[in-house]
Structure 1
Amino acid sequence: MPRPRTHDAALRLKLLDRAGELISADGPRALSLRKLAAGAGTSTTAVYSLFGSKPDLVNALFVEGFRRFGERLAAVERSGDAVEDLVRLGVGHRAGAQADPHLYAIMFTRSVPGFEPGPEADEFARAARRPLAEVAAGGVASGQFAAVAPEVITVGAWGLAHGLVSLELAGNLPEEFTAGGAYEQVLRAAASGWLAPAGSGR
Protein backbone atom coordinates (compact mmCIF):
# COMPACT_ATOMS: atom_id res chain seq x y z
CA MET A 1 0.00 0.00 0.00
CA PRO A 2 1.24 3.53 -0.74
CA ARG A 3 2.27 5.64 2.21
CA PRO A 4 -0.34 8.30 3.13
CA ARG A 5 0.45 11.88 2.16
CA THR A 6 0.85 13.98 5.25
CA HIS A 7 2.19 17.18 3.65
CA ASP A 8 -1.16 18.05 2.12
CA ALA A 9 -3.39 21.09 1.66
CA ALA A 10 -5.05 20.61 5.05
CA LEU A 11 -1.70 20.69 6.84
CA ARG A 12 -0.65 23.70 4.78
CA LEU A 13 -3.70 25.68 5.90
CA LYS A 14 -3.22 24.55 9.50
CA LEU A 15 0.37 25.80 9.45
CA LEU A 16 -0.64 29.11 7.89
CA ASP A 17 -3.32 29.74 10.49
CA ARG A 18 -0.95 28.80 13.31
CA ALA A 19 1.80 31.03 11.90
CA GLY A 20 -0.62 33.94 11.66
CA GLU A 21 -1.73 33.40 15.25
CA LEU A 22 1.88 33.37 16.48
CA ILE A 23 2.71 36.64 14.72
CA SER A 24 -0.54 38.28 15.77
CA ALA A 25 -0.14 37.31 19.43
CA ASP A 26 3.59 37.72 20.00
CA GLY A 27 5.08 39.55 17.01
CA PRO A 28 7.20 38.32 14.09
CA ARG A 29 10.06 37.14 16.30
CA ALA A 30 7.73 34.47 17.66
CA LEU A 31 7.61 32.82 14.25
CA SER A 32 10.09 30.00 14.76
CA LEU A 33 9.67 27.19 12.24
CA ARG A 34 10.42 24.66 14.96
CA LYS A 35 7.81 26.20 17.26
CA LEU A 36 5.33 26.40 14.39
CA ALA A 37 5.81 22.74 13.49
CA ALA A 38 5.47 21.62 17.11
CA GLY A 39 2.27 23.65 17.57
CA ALA A 40 0.75 22.08 14.47
CA GLY A 41 1.80 18.58 15.46
CA THR A 42 4.18 18.08 12.55
CA SER A 43 7.88 18.36 11.71
CA THR A 44 10.06 21.18 10.47
CA THR A 45 10.63 19.00 7.41
CA ALA A 46 6.94 19.37 6.61
CA VAL A 47 7.18 23.15 6.93
CA TYR A 48 10.17 23.31 4.58
CA SER A 49 8.50 20.88 2.19
CA LEU A 50 5.33 22.98 1.98
CA PHE A 51 6.82 26.49 2.01
CA GLY A 52 10.54 26.35 1.35
CA SER A 53 11.71 29.05 3.77
CA LYS A 54 10.52 31.49 6.40
CA PRO A 55 10.13 34.40 3.89
CA ASP A 56 8.17 32.07 1.61
CA LEU A 57 5.94 31.18 4.54
CA VAL A 58 5.23 34.85 5.26
CA ASN A 59 4.44 35.44 1.59
CA ALA A 60 2.08 32.46 1.69
CA LEU A 61 0.37 34.03 4.71
CA PHE A 62 -0.18 37.23 2.75
CA VAL A 63 -1.52 35.31 -0.26
CA GLU A 64 -3.83 33.13 1.82
CA GLY A 65 -5.19 36.10 3.74
CA PHE A 66 -6.11 38.01 0.59
CA ARG A 67 -7.36 34.85 -1.12
CA ARG A 68 -9.91 34.26 1.64
CA PHE A 69 -10.71 37.96 1.91
CA GLY A 70 -11.17 38.33 -1.84
CA GLU A 71 -13.42 35.29 -2.07
CA ARG A 72 -15.65 36.70 0.65
CA LEU A 73 -15.98 40.08 -1.09
CA ALA A 74 -16.52 38.50 -4.51
CA ALA A 75 -19.38 36.46 -3.03
CA VAL A 76 -21.25 39.55 -1.76
CA GLU A 77 -24.57 39.73 -3.58
CA ARG A 78 -25.05 42.93 -5.58
CA SER A 79 -28.32 44.88 -5.47
CA GLY A 80 -27.68 47.12 -8.47
CA ASP A 81 -27.80 50.20 -6.23
CA ALA A 82 -24.30 51.61 -5.82
CA VAL A 83 -24.84 53.01 -2.31
CA GLU A 84 -26.32 49.75 -1.05
CA ASP A 85 -23.56 47.74 -2.69
CA LEU A 86 -20.80 49.85 -1.09
CA VAL A 87 -22.44 49.17 2.26
CA ARG A 88 -22.72 45.44 1.55
CA LEU A 89 -19.08 45.25 0.56
CA GLY A 90 -18.13 47.15 3.71
CA VAL A 91 -20.05 44.62 5.77
CA GLY A 92 -18.22 41.86 3.90
CA HIS A 93 -14.92 43.58 4.69
CA ARG A 94 -15.71 43.44 8.39
CA ALA A 95 -16.84 39.82 8.21
CA GLY A 96 -13.60 38.85 6.47
CA ALA A 97 -11.51 40.58 9.11
CA GLN A 98 -13.45 38.93 11.93
CA ALA A 99 -13.11 35.50 10.34
CA ASP A 100 -9.31 35.73 10.09
CA PRO A 101 -8.05 38.49 12.40
CA HIS A 102 -4.62 36.85 12.63
CA LEU A 103 -4.22 37.13 8.85
CA TYR A 104 -5.82 40.58 8.57
CA ALA A 105 -3.03 42.20 10.56
CA ILE A 106 -0.39 40.68 8.29
CA MET A 107 -2.27 41.71 5.16
CA PHE A 108 -2.68 45.36 6.10
CA THR A 109 -0.02 46.32 8.62
CA ARG A 110 3.04 44.57 7.19
CA SER A 111 3.69 43.30 10.69
CA VAL A 112 6.77 41.37 9.56
CA PRO A 113 9.67 43.88 9.14
CA GLY A 114 11.36 43.78 5.76
CA PHE A 115 8.67 41.65 4.16
CA GLU A 116 7.73 42.56 0.60
CA PRO A 117 4.94 40.52 -1.01
CA GLY A 118 5.70 38.73 -4.27
CA PRO A 119 3.80 39.16 -7.56
CA GLU A 120 1.21 36.51 -6.68
CA ALA A 121 0.48 38.19 -3.37
CA ASP A 122 0.09 41.57 -5.06
CA GLU A 123 -2.37 40.09 -7.56
CA PHE A 124 -4.53 38.62 -4.79
CA ALA A 125 -4.52 42.00 -3.03
CA ARG A 126 -5.65 43.78 -6.21
CA ALA A 127 -8.31 41.14 -6.84
CA ALA A 128 -9.76 41.69 -3.36
CA ARG A 129 -10.40 45.36 -4.19
CA ARG A 130 -11.94 44.58 -7.59
CA PRO A 131 -15.60 44.22 -6.46
CA LEU A 132 -15.40 47.61 -4.76
CA ALA A 133 -13.81 49.18 -7.85
CA GLU A 134 -16.55 47.71 -10.05
CA VAL A 135 -19.32 49.17 -7.87
CA ALA A 136 -17.63 52.59 -7.78
CA ALA A 137 -17.12 52.65 -11.54
CA GLY A 138 -20.67 51.47 -12.16
CA GLY A 139 -22.10 54.14 -9.88
CA VAL A 140 -20.19 56.89 -11.70
CA ALA A 141 -21.03 55.52 -15.15
CA SER A 142 -24.75 55.28 -14.38
CA GLY A 143 -24.89 58.81 -12.99
CA GLN A 144 -25.89 57.69 -9.52
CA PHE A 145 -22.56 58.92 -8.19
CA ALA A 146 -21.01 62.29 -8.92
CA ALA A 147 -18.54 62.58 -11.78
CA VAL A 148 -15.39 61.83 -9.82
CA ALA A 149 -12.62 59.35 -10.48
CA PRO A 150 -13.95 55.92 -9.43
CA GLU A 151 -10.61 55.16 -7.77
CA VAL A 152 -11.25 58.00 -5.32
CA ILE A 153 -14.51 56.34 -4.24
CA THR A 154 -12.85 52.92 -4.13
CA VAL A 155 -9.97 54.01 -1.91
CA GLY A 156 -12.23 56.15 0.28
CA ALA A 157 -14.68 53.31 0.92
CA TRP A 158 -11.87 50.79 1.45
CA GLY A 159 -10.03 53.10 3.84
CA LEU A 160 -13.15 53.84 5.89
CA ALA A 161 -14.00 50.16 6.31
CA HIS A 162 -10.40 49.28 7.12
CA GLY A 163 -10.09 52.06 9.69
CA LEU A 164 -13.26 51.11 11.55
CA VAL A 165 -12.46 47.40 11.43
CA SER A 166 -8.91 48.01 12.68
CA LEU A 167 -10.23 50.04 15.62
CA GLU A 168 -12.69 47.27 16.43
CA LEU A 169 -10.10 44.49 16.28
CA ALA A 170 -7.76 46.50 18.50
CA GLY A 171 -10.56 47.11 21.03
CA ASN A 172 -10.37 50.88 20.50
CA LEU A 173 -14.01 51.65 19.71
CA PRO A 174 -16.00 53.51 22.40
CA GLU A 175 -18.70 51.53 24.19
CA GLU A 176 -21.51 53.56 22.66
CA PHE A 177 -20.37 52.59 19.15
CA THR A 178 -22.19 49.34 18.47
CA ALA A 179 -19.95 47.63 15.96
CA GLY A 180 -22.80 46.16 13.94
CA GLY A 181 -25.47 48.87 13.57
CA ALA A 182 -23.29 51.96 13.89
CA TYR A 183 -20.75 50.50 11.47
CA GLU A 184 -23.39 50.15 8.76
CA GLN A 185 -24.74 53.66 9.50
CA VAL A 186 -21.30 55.15 8.97
CA LEU A 187 -20.79 53.19 5.75
CA ARG A 188 -24.16 54.28 4.37
CA ALA A 189 -23.63 57.94 5.25
CA ALA A 190 -20.23 57.91 3.53
CA ALA A 191 -21.53 56.10 0.45
CA SER A 192 -24.46 58.53 0.17
CA GLY A 193 -21.96 61.37 0.12
CA TRP A 194 -20.88 60.27 -3.37
CA LEU A 195 -24.38 60.69 -4.84
CA ALA A 196 -24.68 63.05 -7.79
CA PRO A 197 -26.26 66.38 -6.79
CA ALA A 198 -29.95 66.73 -7.60
CA GLY A 199 -30.48 68.53 -10.87
CA SER A 200 -26.98 67.78 -12.09
CA GLY A 201 -28.42 66.43 -15.31
CA ARG A 202 -26.83 63.04 -14.92
Structure 2
Amino acid sequence: MSPRESTAKAHPRSRLLEAAIRILAADGPEALQARRLATEVGMSTMAVYTHFGGMGGLITEIVREGFIRLGRRMEEIPPGDDPVVDLLALGLAYRDHALDNPQLYRLMFGVVSPGGRQGGKDLTVAGVGNDLPEGQAAFARLVTAVTRVMEATDTREEEPHSAAAQFWSAIHGYVLLEIAGFFDGDGDPVERYLVPLGTKLVVGIGATPEHTARCVRQIAAARPRAESITEA
Protein backbone atom coordinates (compact mmCIF):
# COMPACT_ATOMS: atom_id res chain seq x y z
CA MET A 1 0.00 0.00 0.00
CA SER A 2 1.40 3.38 -0.99
CA PRO A 3 1.68 6.21 1.60
CA ARG A 4 -1.04 8.07 -0.27
CA GLU A 5 -3.41 5.11 -0.12
CA SER A 6 -2.62 4.58 3.55
CA THR A 7 -3.34 8.24 4.34
CA ALA A 8 -6.59 8.16 2.41
CA LYS A 9 -7.80 5.09 4.28
CA ALA A 10 -6.78 6.60 7.63
CA HIS A 11 -8.74 9.84 7.15
CA PRO A 12 -12.27 9.21 5.86
CA ARG A 13 -13.33 12.71 6.93
CA SER A 14 -10.64 14.28 4.77
CA ARG A 15 -11.56 11.98 1.88
CA LEU A 16 -15.18 13.07 2.09
CA LEU A 17 -14.26 16.76 2.24
CA GLU A 18 -11.87 16.58 -0.71
CA ALA A 19 -14.38 14.57 -2.74
CA ALA A 20 -17.08 17.15 -1.98
CA ILE A 21 -14.82 19.98 -3.18
CA ARG A 22 -14.08 18.06 -6.40
CA ILE A 23 -17.78 17.48 -7.03
CA LEU A 24 -18.53 21.12 -6.32
CA ALA A 25 -15.86 22.27 -8.76
CA ALA A 26 -16.98 19.89 -11.49
CA ASP A 27 -20.76 20.09 -11.28
CA GLY A 28 -21.76 22.93 -8.97
CA PRO A 29 -23.52 23.05 -5.60
CA GLU A 30 -26.61 21.19 -6.75
CA ALA A 31 -24.42 18.09 -7.16
CA LEU A 32 -23.48 18.08 -3.46
CA GLN A 33 -25.63 15.16 -2.38
CA ALA A 34 -24.87 12.57 0.28
CA ARG A 35 -25.50 9.62 -2.01
CA ARG A 36 -23.23 10.86 -4.77
CA LEU A 37 -20.52 11.77 -2.28
CA ALA A 38 -20.71 8.33 -0.66
CA THR A 39 -20.40 6.66 -4.05
CA GLU A 40 -17.41 8.85 -4.92
CA VAL A 41 -15.41 7.70 -1.88
CA GLY A 42 -16.78 4.18 -1.56
CA MET A 43 -18.57 4.71 1.76
CA SER A 44 -22.17 4.63 2.92
CA THR A 45 -24.21 7.82 3.18
CA MET A 46 -24.05 7.38 6.96
CA ALA A 47 -20.40 8.46 6.78
CA VAL A 48 -21.51 12.02 6.01
CA TYR A 49 -23.56 12.09 9.20
CA THR A 50 -20.89 10.34 11.25
CA HIS A 51 -18.14 12.79 10.31
CA PHE A 52 -20.07 16.04 9.68
CA GLY A 53 -23.44 15.61 11.34
CA GLY A 54 -25.14 15.81 7.95
CA MET A 55 -24.86 17.77 4.71
CA GLY A 56 -25.21 21.10 6.51
CA GLY A 57 -22.09 20.38 8.54
CA LEU A 58 -20.26 19.27 5.42
CA ILE A 59 -21.13 22.50 3.60
CA THR A 60 -19.81 24.50 6.55
CA GLU A 61 -16.52 22.61 6.37
CA ILE A 62 -16.28 23.17 2.62
CA VAL A 63 -16.68 26.90 3.23
CA ARG A 64 -14.08 26.73 6.01
CA GLU A 65 -11.65 24.99 3.66
CA GLY A 66 -12.33 27.66 1.04
CA PHE A 67 -11.24 30.39 3.45
CA ILE A 68 -8.20 28.36 4.47
CA ARG A 69 -7.17 28.17 0.83
CA LEU A 70 -7.85 31.86 0.34
CA GLY A 71 -5.66 32.58 3.36
CA ARG A 72 -2.86 30.49 1.89
CA ARG A 73 -3.10 32.35 -1.41
CA MET A 74 -2.92 35.67 0.41
CA GLU A 75 0.07 34.43 2.43
CA GLU A 76 1.93 34.05 -0.86
CA ILE A 77 2.18 37.86 -0.79
CA PRO A 78 4.65 38.46 2.04
CA PRO A 79 5.02 41.99 3.41
CA GLY A 80 7.59 43.85 1.35
CA ASP A 81 9.19 47.28 1.38
CA ASP A 82 6.23 49.00 -0.27
CA PRO A 83 2.81 48.53 1.35
CA VAL A 84 1.05 49.87 -1.75
CA VAL A 85 2.57 47.07 -3.84
CA ASP A 86 1.53 44.58 -1.19
CA LEU A 87 -2.09 45.77 -1.07
CA LEU A 88 -2.48 45.75 -4.85
CA ALA A 89 -0.88 42.31 -5.03
CA LEU A 90 -3.29 41.03 -2.37
CA GLY A 91 -6.20 42.19 -4.50
CA LEU A 92 -4.85 40.30 -7.49
CA ALA A 93 -4.18 37.19 -5.39
CA TYR A 94 -7.75 37.35 -4.10
CA ARG A 95 -9.06 37.50 -7.66
CA ASP A 96 -6.82 34.61 -8.75
CA HIS A 97 -8.11 32.41 -5.93
CA ALA A 98 -11.71 33.16 -6.87
CA LEU A 99 -11.21 32.55 -10.59
CA ASP A 100 -9.31 29.33 -9.93
CA ASN A 101 -12.14 28.10 -7.67
CA PRO A 102 -15.33 29.80 -8.90
CA GLN A 103 -17.86 27.34 -7.49
CA LEU A 104 -16.10 27.21 -4.14
CA TYR A 105 -15.84 31.00 -4.03
CA ARG A 106 -19.55 31.46 -4.70
CA LEU A 107 -20.37 28.98 -1.96
CA MET A 108 -18.03 30.72 0.49
CA PHE A 109 -19.97 33.96 0.21
CA GLY A 110 -23.48 32.57 0.09
CA VAL A 111 -24.06 33.36 -3.58
CA VAL A 112 -25.23 29.75 -3.71
CA SER A 113 -26.39 27.92 -0.62
CA PRO A 114 -27.11 24.19 -0.90
CA GLY A 115 -29.13 22.66 1.91
CA GLY A 116 -28.29 23.21 5.51
CA ARG A 117 -26.37 26.49 5.55
CA GLN A 118 -27.63 30.02 5.46
CA GLY A 119 -25.84 32.16 2.91
CA GLY A 120 -24.31 35.52 3.71
CA LYS A 121 -21.70 36.11 6.41
CA ASP A 122 -20.33 39.46 7.46
CA LEU A 123 -16.58 38.94 7.60
CA THR A 124 -15.92 42.47 8.71
CA VAL A 125 -17.50 42.21 12.16
CA ALA A 126 -15.83 39.77 14.54
CA GLY A 127 -18.36 37.66 16.38
CA VAL A 128 -21.35 38.98 14.44
CA GLY A 129 -22.73 37.05 11.48
CA ASN A 130 -19.57 35.17 10.60
CA ASP A 131 -18.84 32.10 12.67
CA LEU A 132 -15.70 31.00 10.83
CA PRO A 133 -12.38 32.22 12.22
CA GLU A 134 -10.72 31.37 8.92
CA GLY A 135 -12.82 34.03 7.22
CA GLN A 136 -12.00 36.53 9.93
CA ALA A 137 -8.30 35.74 9.52
CA ALA A 138 -8.43 36.50 5.80
CA PHE A 139 -10.11 39.84 6.44
CA ALA A 140 -7.63 40.65 9.24
CA ARG A 141 -4.78 40.21 6.77
CA LEU A 142 -6.39 42.80 4.52
CA VAL A 143 -6.88 45.18 7.46
CA THR A 144 -3.18 44.86 8.22
CA ALA A 145 -2.25 45.65 4.62
CA VAL A 146 -4.53 48.69 4.54
CA THR A 147 -3.15 49.90 7.87
CA ARG A 148 0.38 49.76 6.48
CA VAL A 149 -0.63 51.91 3.50
CA MET A 150 -2.27 54.45 5.80
CA GLU A 151 0.75 54.59 8.06
CA ALA A 152 3.12 55.00 5.12
CA THR A 153 1.04 57.80 3.61
CA ASP A 154 0.19 59.42 6.94
CA THR A 155 -3.53 59.04 6.28
CA ARG A 156 -5.82 59.56 9.25
CA GLU A 157 -9.14 60.36 7.59
CA GLU A 158 -10.63 56.87 7.89
CA GLU A 159 -10.42 53.89 10.21
CA PRO A 160 -8.44 51.00 8.63
CA HIS A 161 -11.13 48.44 9.39
CA SER A 162 -13.70 50.43 7.43
CA ALA A 163 -11.34 51.10 4.53
CA ALA A 164 -10.45 47.40 4.33
CA ALA A 165 -14.14 46.48 4.23
CA GLN A 166 -14.65 48.88 1.32
CA PHE A 167 -11.63 47.46 -0.49
CA TRP A 168 -12.90 43.89 0.00
CA SER A 169 -16.41 44.85 -1.12
CA ALA A 170 -15.19 46.41 -4.35
CA ILE A 171 -12.89 43.52 -5.28
CA HIS A 172 -15.59 40.99 -4.37
CA GLY A 173 -18.08 42.70 -6.66
CA TYR A 174 -15.62 42.71 -9.54
CA VAL A 175 -14.79 39.04 -8.99
CA LEU A 176 -18.44 37.96 -9.06
CA LEU A 177 -18.97 39.81 -12.32
CA GLU A 178 -15.91 38.19 -13.91
CA ILE A 179 -16.96 34.73 -12.72
CA ALA A 180 -20.42 35.32 -14.21
CA GLY A 181 -18.85 36.14 -17.58
CA PHE A 182 -19.81 39.80 -17.76
CA PHE A 183 -16.37 40.71 -19.13
CA ASP A 184 -16.02 37.89 -21.68
CA GLY A 185 -14.76 39.06 -25.03
CA ASP A 186 -13.85 42.47 -23.68
CA GLY A 187 -10.08 42.23 -23.72
CA ASP A 188 -8.18 41.52 -20.51
CA PRO A 189 -10.63 42.40 -17.71
CA VAL A 190 -7.86 42.53 -15.13
CA GLU A 191 -6.09 45.24 -17.08
CA ARG A 192 -9.21 47.07 -18.17
CA TYR A 193 -11.22 46.98 -14.95
CA LEU A 194 -9.58 45.38 -11.91
CA VAL A 195 -6.29 47.28 -12.01
CA PRO A 196 -7.97 50.69 -12.49
CA LEU A 197 -10.41 49.80 -9.71
CA GLY A 198 -7.58 48.80 -7.37
CA THR A 199 -5.70 51.96 -8.29
CA LYS A 200 -8.63 54.18 -7.36
CA LEU A 201 -9.13 52.32 -4.10
CA VAL A 202 -5.48 52.62 -3.08
CA VAL A 203 -5.37 56.31 -4.01
CA GLY A 204 -8.50 56.79 -1.93
CA ILE A 205 -6.72 55.21 1.01
CA GLY A 206 -3.90 57.72 0.72
CA ALA A 207 -1.35 56.74 -1.93
CA THR A 208 -0.51 59.22 -4.68
CA PRO A 209 -1.54 58.36 -8.27
CA GLU A 210 2.09 58.57 -9.42
CA HIS A 211 3.34 56.20 -6.76
CA THR A 212 0.45 53.79 -7.37
CA ALA A 213 1.21 53.73 -11.12
CA ARG A 214 4.82 52.79 -10.37
CA CYS A 215 3.59 50.01 -8.07
CA VAL A 216 1.31 48.64 -10.80
CA ARG A 217 4.24 48.46 -13.20
CA GLN A 218 6.32 46.68 -10.56
CA ILE A 219 3.59 44.09 -10.01
CA ALA A 220 3.15 43.59 -13.76
CA ALA A 221 6.84 42.81 -14.15
CA ALA A 222 6.58 40.01 -11.60
CA ARG A 223 3.16 38.64 -12.58
CA PRO A 224 3.33 35.97 -15.31
CA ARG A 225 -0.45 35.63 -15.49
CA ALA A 226 -0.99 39.25 -16.51
CA GLU A 227 2.00 40.41 -18.52
CA SER A 228 -0.15 42.97 -20.31
CA ILE A 229 -0.75 45.02 -17.16
CA THR A 230 1.47 48.03 -17.68
CA GLU A 231 -0.47 51.09 -16.72
CA ALA A 232 -2.71 52.04 -13.82
| Contact 2:87–2:145 under 8 Å retained in 1 | yes
Specify the alignment match of 2:98 in structure 1.
97
Specify the alignment match of 2:117 in structure 1.
115
- Tell me which amino acid in the other structure corresponds to 1:115: R
Specify the alignment match of 2:168 in structure 1.
158
Distance in 1 (alpha carbons) for counterparts of 2:99 and 2:207: 33
Q: Provide the TM-score with structure 2 as the length reference.
A: 0.70
> What is the Cα deviation at residue 45 of structure 1?
4.0
Please give the residue correspondences for 1:34-49 in structure 2 after superposition, counting only pairs within 5 Å: 34-49=35-50
Q: Secondary structure at the match of 1:6?
A: helix
Residue segments in structure 1 that go unaligned for 5+ positions in a row = 198-202
2:16 counterpart of 1:16 = no
Aligned Cα root-mean-square deviation (Å): 3.0
| Contact 2:84–2:207 under 8 Å retained in 1 | no
| Contact 2:38–2:44 under 8 Å retained in 1 | yes
- Tell me which amino acid in the other structure corresponds to 2:21: D
Distance in 2 (alpha carbons) for counterparts of 1:142 and 1:93: 23
Specify the alignment match of 2:197 in structure 1.
186
Deviation per residue, 1:83-114 (Å, 9 max, x gap): 22221110110111122222101111252266
Compared CA separation, residues 36 and 130, structure 1 to 2 (3 A): same
- Tell me which amino acid in the other structure corresponds to 1:134: T
> What is the Cα deviation at residue 116 of structure 1?
4.3
| Contact 1:59–1:121 under 8 Å retained in 2 | no
Distance in 2 (alpha carbons) for counterparts of 1:58 and 1:110: 13
> What is the Cα deviation at residue 149 of structure 1?
0.9
| Contact 1:20–1:103 under 8 Å retained in 2 | yes
Specify the alignment match of 1:200 in structure 2.
none
> What is the Cα deviation at residue 144 of structure 1?
4.2
Distance in 1 (alpha carbons) for counterparts of 2:49 and 2:197: 45
2:158 counterpart of 1:148 = yes
| Contact 2:17–2:61 under 8 Å retained in 1 | no
Percent of residue pairs bearing the same amino acid type: 26
Distance in 2 (alpha carbons) for counterparts of 1:84 and 1:31: 39
Across the two proteins, how many residue pairs are aligned to each other?
192
| Contact 1:86–1:157 under 8 Å retained in 2 | no
Deviation per residue, 1:2-28 (Å, 9 max, x gap): xx5625265134223135337x6353x
Residue segments in structure 2 that go unaligned for 5+ positions in a row = 1-5, 122-126, 209-232
Larger CA deviation: 182-191 vs 89-98 = 182-191
Distance in 1 (alpha carbons) for counterparts of 2:207 and 2:199: 15
Deviation per residue, 1:150-185 (Å, 9 max, x gap): 122201111111111111111112533513323223
| Contact 1:167–1:173 under 8 Å retained in 2 | yes
Specify the alignment match of 2:149 in structure 1.
139
Compared CA separation, residues 86 and 127, structure 1 to 2 (3 A): same
